[in-house]
Amino acid sequence: MSDDGVNHTRRRLIGLTAGMGAVGGAFVAWPFLASWVPSARAKAAGAPVEINISKLEPGQMLSVEWRGQPAWILNRTPEMLDKLPGMVDLIVDPDSLESIQPDYAKNKTRSIKEQYLVLIGICTHLGCVPLTKLKPGLAEGMEADWRGGFFCPCHGSKFDLAGRVYKNVPAPTNLVVPPYHFATDTLIVVGVDPSMSIHGAEGAKNMNKKMKENLSGSKG
């Protein structure tokens, strides 16, 4: 292209106008895009839930709704707990290093009290609710070498009795442990860390952050 007869001032002004237009366009687009993020109402929903576990016998499980998701509480029998250490070879992340749980549940049993397992019942693959298959072996339609745990029907992910994911299934990380604490020996509060129940306002702020982390599911 030759420069003959090109009015450079006009070119520059055209460029400038187009540039301003683009900036204006971006400003107009912003409110529309921003309207898609969770609204104030959606963020406010999701109060903690209290679960009375006095009637939860060993080997039984409860499912409650917390923030639109199933929260599970499993009262593990001693036999169930005994199996956990032996699972290590079958498990991707036995020490829960890559998985999401509060620090106080980052241990061998993934729980505050050994016996009680609290989990978000949402598969870390693509978010289905895994089926509860607590009994080992063929009893619940699993294979003969099944040791009890959870089975996600969607794409076949398997988890053990601490919510830890098996090797060679699509789910990448262990089931999420939500923030929770024991208000009394028989009352579990899901959605509030133990520290928050003590530290009041400071803890509540912390809680919001924690909850969001836990809710957004598995990390990358």
> Rule CB under 8 A: which residues touch another protein?
36-39, 42, 46, 63, 65, 67-70, 121, 125-131, 152-156, 167-172, 212, 215-220
Q: What distance in Å separates the CA atoms of residue 29 and residue 23, rounded to the nearest whole number?
A: 10
With tokens 């969607």, the residue in question is 154
Q: Is 155 part of the annotated catalytic residue set?
A: yes
Residue 20: C-alpha distances to residues 9, 23, 27, 99 (Å): 16, 5, 11, 46
Does residue 92 touch ligand FES according to CB under 6 A? no
Could you tell me which stretch among 63-71, 148-156, 175-183, 189-197 binds ligand FES (CB under 6 A)? 148-156
3-state SS of 42-110?
A: HHHCCCCEEEECCCCCCCCEEEEEECCEEEEEEECCHHHHHHHHHHHHHECCCCCCCCCCCHHHCCCCC
Does residue 171 touch ligand FES according to CB under 6 A? yes
Name which of 173 and 214 has its Cβ closer to ligand FES.
173
Q: What distance in Å separates the CA atoms of residue 87 and residue 166, rounded to the nearest whole number?
A: 9
Which of ligand FES, another protein, none has residue 63 at its interface (CB below 5 to 8 Å by kind)?
another protein
Shortest CB 122 distance to ligand FES, Å: 8
Task: Please provide residue 114's backbone torsions phi and psi, each rounded to the nearest 5 degrees.
Answer: -45, -45
Residue of 8, 155, 181, 199 marked catalytic: 155
Shortest CB 170 distance to ligand FES, Å: 5
Stretch 113-132 residues interacting with ligand FES (CB under 6 A):
123, 125-128
